[in-house]
Structure 1
Amino acid sequence: MQIHPLITDSDALADLCARLSAGDFVAVDTEFMRESTYWPDLCLIQIGNAEEAAAVDPKADDIDLAPLLDMLVDNEDVLKVFHAGGQDVEIVYNLTNKTPHPIFDTQIAAMALGLGEQIGYSNLVDALLGHSLDKGARFTDWARRPLDKRQLDYAIGDVTHLAELFPKMLDRLRETGRGAWINAEMERLADPANYANEPSDSWKRVRIQSRKADVLGRLKAIAAWRECEAQDKNLPRGRLLRDEALADIASHPPKNQKALAKIRGLPSSWASNDIGARLMQVVQHAEPLPEDELPSRRNRKPGLGKEGALVADLLKLLLKIRSREIGVASRLIAKADELEQLAAGVREDIRLLDGWRFEEFGRDALDLVEGRVAFAVRDGKLKVTHTEEEDAE
């Protein structure tokens, strides 16, 4: 494989992208910093395939990233390969308002191959390629220039190994017939809706006990205000105002700006400065949440009760057994909240009751809930048996 020097000019990048665009896939990784900012600070982009790879410096003077971004979001003929690519996809979305497509994530594929729930990149490389990665540069400040050879080698290694991993994993998926199992997960990763930071929807991420319309109306208004302030100041939303303080203000609104000084987690200066004044304007003018926006009972966690909780625990045990038997990460098959819904009597809009998940686990899960499955220890191993099998014996 040819490794190019760090790309810092537009012509070299355009030439590389033209060659990569003629291939079937491109491996992609990014290095960024976001500890102290709202928006991730993109510092390096690594791209490559089986023949060549390079690191691109997005901070280079006057470099035009358009050929690279066009290849990622507009070229449907090239498969984009990532590992745990959520944050990489988010960066591309922030730059283009589009997401890479089609997409393949090796961490998701590893789940279908029974290599772990969320296997790390170095562990995956070691398991499939037998290579031990040098982790010495992982704490690099990628925003500082110049980057030395060791740092660049470390960064480019992420895509050179990725380009080697992808064909091997694809072959295994074809051999096991599990390629279709992860299609929906890949599409979900590429869904632009996952990366749109709409201030008006940000309240849905904040945990709060109340379901009163006036409280949720304040929550929505304050959360939207926080999101806009954080974006404008390029500060992490939690650094501006923590979720706990936001929920407290929504539930127990201060009567005036001076009262902000008494709220835990708020700087005392907010009791008299401009940002505190803007917050109070939002609190005082917030409208109750309209009825059609109130969280539906259907979306709430079902009430299990003591017996239902025991059934949910049995479903989790069944899931552990089945995932071990078929060699698939349990998280890919079902999540805890889905098992709790099933135990509570819900039968609609549950993934495990559809498609391959139903064939591999959902049918047995239904049988367990409805009393047709039992657990037994045979030859020192925990087994799942159907009651009619027990009766036949």
Structure 2
Amino acid sequence: MQIHPMIEDTATLAAMCERLSKSNFIAVDTEFMRENTFWPDLCLIQIADEHEAAAVDPKAPGLDLKPLLDLMTENDDVLKVFHAGGQDIEIVYNLTGKTPFPLFDTQVAAMALGQGEQVGYSNLVDQWLGITLDKGARFTDWGRRPLDKRQIDYAIGDVTHLSKIFPMMLEKLHKTGRGAWLDQEMDRLGNPANYAQEPGEAWKRVKIASRKPEVLGRLRALAAWREHEARTKNLPRGRIVKDETLGDLALHPPRTQGELSKVRGLSTSWAGNDIGGRMMAALGNAGPLAAELMPPRDDRKPGLGKDGALVADLLKLLLKIRAKESNVAPRLLARTDDLDALAAGVREGLSILTGWRFDQFGRDALDLVEGRLAFAVVNGKLKMTRTEDVGPEAVVADVA
């Protein structure tokens, strides 16, 4: 494979993207810093196909990333391969308003191949290529220039290894017939809605021990205000106001701006400065949360009583058994929310009741909930059995 010098000008980048546009796939990775900013500070982009690889310096003066961004978001003929690519995809979305398409995530594929739910990149390389990665450059300050050869080599290695692993994974997925298992997960990963970060939705990330519409309405207004402040100043949300302080303000709103000097977690200067005034304005304009926006009483177990919770636990045990038998990560087969919903009586809109998930797990899960399947101890071993097949020697857990 040809490894190019770091790309620092638009013409060289455009020429490489033109060549890559004829490839079946490209491996993509990014290096970024976000400890001190709201928006990720993109420091390096690595790209490779089976024949060539390079690192691109987005901080190079005059470099226009458009050829590469167009390749990732406008060219549907080239598959974009990532590993645990959520944050990489977020960066592309922030720059373009679009997500790479089509895409493939090797961490998700590893789930279908029985290699764990969140296999790290170094473990993936070790498992597929037998290479132990040098982890010394992981904590590099990627924003500092110049980058030395060891740092650049480390970064490019992420995509050169990935470009070798992907075809091997693809072949195994074809042999096992599991390629279609990934379609839904890849669509979910590439859904632009996952990266939109609407200010009006920011309150849902803040934990608060209240369901009062007045409190949640204030929380929604405060979270949207903080989102605007953080974006405008390009600072992490917590640098503006921490979540726990935001929750306290929603629960116990100050009557005047002067009272902000007594709020734990805020600077006393907020009692008289502009940012404190803007926050008080957001509070003053807040109304009760609309009924249609109220969160369910329990997102995890809708409608579950004590018996339903026990059934959900049995479904989780069944999931472990079926996942082990199929050599697939349990989370790819079913999510906890689906198991809880099935136990609560939901039969529509569950991914485990359609497609390959139904064949691999959902059919048995439905039979277990509806009493046609049971856990049995037969000759001292735990087995799944149809209830009509249980003999007098078995001890059966009744879940009907």
Q: In which range does the TM-score fall when normalised by the shorter chain?
A: over 0.9
Q: Which stretch of the first structure deviates more once superposed, 371-380 or 79-88?
A: 371-380
Task: Trace 1:84-95 onto structure 2 (pairs within 5 A).
Answer: 84-95=84-95
Partner of 2:155: 155
Normalising by structure 2, we get a TM-score of 0.94
1:319 aligns with 2:312: no
Query: 1:264 aligns to what SS in structure 2?
Result: coil
For residue 154 of structure 1, report the CA deviation from its aligned partner: 0.4
Which one-letter code corresponds to 2:349 in the other structure?
D
For residue 257 of structure 1, report the CA deviation from its aligned partner: 1.6
Partner of 1:101: 101
| Separation in structure 2 between the aligned mates of residue 376 and residue 213 of structure 1, nearest angstrom | 47
| Separation in structure 1 between the aligned mates of residue 381 and residue 63 of structure 2, nearest angstrom | 61
For residue 10 of structure 1, report the CA deviation from its aligned partner: 1.1
Unaligned runs of 5+ in 2: 394-400
Normalising by structure 1, we get a TM-score of 0.95
Change (3 A) 1:381 1:236: farther
1:136 aligns with 2:136: yes
Partner of 2:308: 308
Q: Which stretch of the first structure deviates more once superposed, 321-330 or 348-357?
A: 348-357
Unaligned runs of 5+ in 1: none
Query: 1:30 aligns to what SS in structure 2?
Result: strand
CA contact (8 A) 2:300 2:336 kept: no
Partner of 2:273: 273
CA contact (8 A) 1:72 1:100 kept: yes
Partner of 1:126: 126
Which one-letter code corresponds to 1:272 in the other structure?
G
CA contact (8 A) 2:300 2:337 kept: no
| Separation in structure 2 between the aligned mates of residue 298 and residue 355 of structure 1, nearest angstrom | 28
| Separation in structure 1 between the aligned mates of residue 33 and residue 381 of structure 2, nearest angstrom | 48
Query: 2:360 aligns to what SS in structure 1?
Result: helix
Task: Trace 1:1-393 onto structure 2 (pairs within 5 A).
Answer: 1-295=1-295, 301-377=301-377, 382-391=382-391
Q: Which stretch of the first structure deviates more once superposed, 200-209 or 176-185?
A: 200-209
Which one-letter code corresponds to 1:151 in the other structure?
Q
Q: Which stretch of the first structure deviates more once superposed, 19-28 or 381-390?
A: 381-390
CA contact (8 A) 2:302 2:341 kept: yes
Q: Which stretch of the first structure deviates more once superposed, 373-382 or 273-282?
A: 373-382
CA contact (8 A) 2:113 2:173 kept: yes
Which one-letter code corresponds to 1:215 in the other structure?
V
CA contact (8 A) 1:81 1:103 kept: yes
| Separation in structure 2 between the aligned mates of residue 283 and residue 36 of structure 1, nearest angstrom | 27
| Separation in structure 2 between the aligned mates of residue 139 and residue 298 of structure 1, nearest angstrom | 39
| Separation in structure 1 between the aligned mates of residue 123 and residue 54 of structure 2, nearest angstrom | 23
Query: 1:317 aligns to what SS in structure 2?
Result: helix
For residue 297 of structure 1, report the CA deviation from its aligned partner: 6.2
| Separation in structure 1 between the aligned mates of residue 288 and residue 238 of structure 2, nearest angstrom | 24
Deviations 1:83-116 (A, max 9, x none): 0000000000111111100000000011011110
Deviations 1:307-342 (A, max 9, x none): 222221111111011000001100011112221222
CA contact (8 A) 1:31 1:142 kept: yes
CA contact (8 A) 1:321 1:383 kept: no
Query: 1:141 aligns to what SS in structure 2?
Result: coil
Q: Which stretch of the first structure deviates more once superposed, 42-51 or 273-282?
A: 273-282
| Separation in structure 2 between the aligned mates of residue 219 and residue 331 of structure 1, nearest angstrom | 32
| Separation in structure 2 between the aligned mates of residue 138 and residue 382 of structure 1, nearest angstrom | 45
| Separation in structure 1 between the aligned mates of residue 351 and residue 203 of structure 2, nearest angstrom | 26
| Separation in structure 2 between the aligned mates of residue 335 and residue 53 of structure 1, nearest angstrom | 37
Alpha-carbon RMSD = 1.8
For residue 206 of structure 1, report the CA deviation from its aligned partner: 2.1
| Separation in structure 2 between the aligned mates of residue 153 and residue 361 of structure 1, nearest angstrom | 44
For residue 204 of structure 1, report the CA deviation from its aligned partner: 2.2
Q: Which stretch of the first structure deviates more once superposed, 146-155 or 359-368?
A: 359-368
